[in-house]
Amino acid sequence: MCADRIPIDIPFGSTRQRVEIPAGQLAGVCWPAPVPTAPDPEAHLRQVIQEGLERTAITAKAKPGARVCLVVTDRTRSTPNRQIVPILIEELEKLGIRDEDITIMVGVGMHAADSPEAIEANLGPAVARRFPVLNNEPDNQAVMVHLGTTSLGTPVEVHQRFAEADIRIGTGLVNPCMLAGWSAGAKIVLPGVASRRCIYENHKRFTGILAELRCGSLLGVMPPANIVRSDLEEAADIVGIDMVVDVLLDAGRNLVRAFADRHLPAHRAAVEFMRPYVEVSLPEKVDILIAGVGDAGYEVSLFQGGSRVCGGADRYLKPGGTLILVNQCREGIYEGFEHEEFRQWMREMPTPAELRRLTEALEIGGEKSCVLYTFSWLLHEMQCRIVVVAEGMGPAELREVHLDYAEHVQPALDAALADYGPGASVGVMPYGALVLPILRE
């Protein structure tokens, strides 16, 4: 390493890639702040869950014969379900719940179903083999139950196993989210166990907000401004979810804290606790932004990892700048079952204005268009270049969707520096999916 170059390691799946940046051109590095972790994660989870079961009156509802539906996040999230679910089951059994009355669902929303191998990795072999585990089926109207309509007109339709349960509990991992402001909470219901029609009607509402805000995502934006979030929370109230177990993790994926309560108080308490640790800033906008996803779960695809990073990149990039996105893309362009449809939309790359029309007319599903919008905003509105450091996608596949490829972050940076010249500024977000970018005034 040259004395005038600063080395920074960028997470890449389970490994790291090192990049060396000229010291005089480094505007700043956005690290999530160190956060104290739970000294005994299992004891903390058990205490929080026990208190949550009491607080939400599940202790009064639980008895032999009461049907329980536990909804967990899928393979695209790093929620420690292997630790949470066994404790939930043990505590419910203490209250009289029998094995035969427990169903576990994977709240995949519109993602492709988790495989048996992914389910076992998510829940652990003992739980996965002991209980029936179902994936949400958004297109199977025969298993969907209509429970009402939100004040914005979203039809509330959820899987019957969830709707007909006497006790409904969900899990979630709280991070900044480019659509719902922050992940988890009521999202385990919508989109987690909802129908396509319900998801589309809710998700399409993001376009009008972004047109007013003149930005690429709703990252960190909460109600009342974020009507997508308020609408899905109203839907969860209509369905009636008894409790969520929402967790916070540090950058090393260690448990920081858990919250078990009704979806709204649990989620808001988690957001309030974590916000000071994840808000990051650069002193100015930069020519080149290097952004790792920073969470292997989100690196499942370009869709997941890209949405987490591109949603905040416009806050740091100058018009005409370059984003170097470090994202394994293990399952390629999209982990959803409609990956070829998403690929075609990425090939076409409509402008943000065109996407608003297409989404509001339901010609493209909101779960796809909200991610496409973040790419479109950078490419069309900001005239930026996006270079993806990936393993699961190659140069030709990325080129056809208007993105560039690099095998390693260093040559990608060197090429960008050569393009912009010695005055170019560089910013770095090693954990782009785990932070909330803001600009210092």
* Distance between first and last Cα of the chain: 34
Q: Where in the chain is the domain with CATH 3.40.50.11440?
A: 41-276
Mean pLDDT computed over 195-217: 92
% of the chain beyond a pLDDT of 70 = 99
- Please check the confidence at residue 289 and state whether its pLDDT lies above 50: yes
Residue 338 confidence (pLDDT): 87
List, for residues 141-188, the tens digit of each pLDDT value: 999 999 999 999 999 999 999 999 999 999 999 999 999 999 999 999
Q: Report the topology of domain 41-276.
A: Rossmann fold (3.40.50)
Cis geometry, peptide bond prior to residue 32 (ω within 30 degrees of 0): no
Helices and strands (H, E) in the chain, number of each type: 16, 20
- Distance CA(64)–CA(136), nearest Å, equals 26
User: Which residues in the chain are classed under CATH 3.90.226.30?
Assistant: 5-30+283-439
* Residue range 263-272, pLDDT digits in tens: 999 999 999 9
Question: pLDDT at residue 366 above 50?
Answer: yes
Read off the DSSP letter of residue 308. Answer: H
Task: Name the average pLDDT for the chain.
Answer: 95
> Which residues, 6+ apart, have CB-to-CB distance to 292 below 8 Å?
10, 11, 12, 309, 326, 327, 429, 430, 431, 432
Q: If pLDDT is split at 50, 70 and 90, which confidence band does 441 have?
A: low
74-to-121, 122, 188 alpha-carbon distances in Å: 10, 7, 10
CA distance 216 to 207: 10
* CATH architecture for segment(s) 5-30+283-439: Alpha-Beta Complex (3.90)
**pTM exceeding 0.75:** yes
Q: Which residue has the higher pLDDT, 350 or 211?
A: 350
pLDDT in tens, 253-265: 999 999 999 999 9
What pLDDT is attached to residue 1? 45
What are 387-425's pLDDT values in tens digits?
999 999 999 999 999 999 999 999 999 999 999 999 999
pLDDT value at residue 2: 56
Q: How do beta strands 317-326 and 286-292 pair?
A: parallel
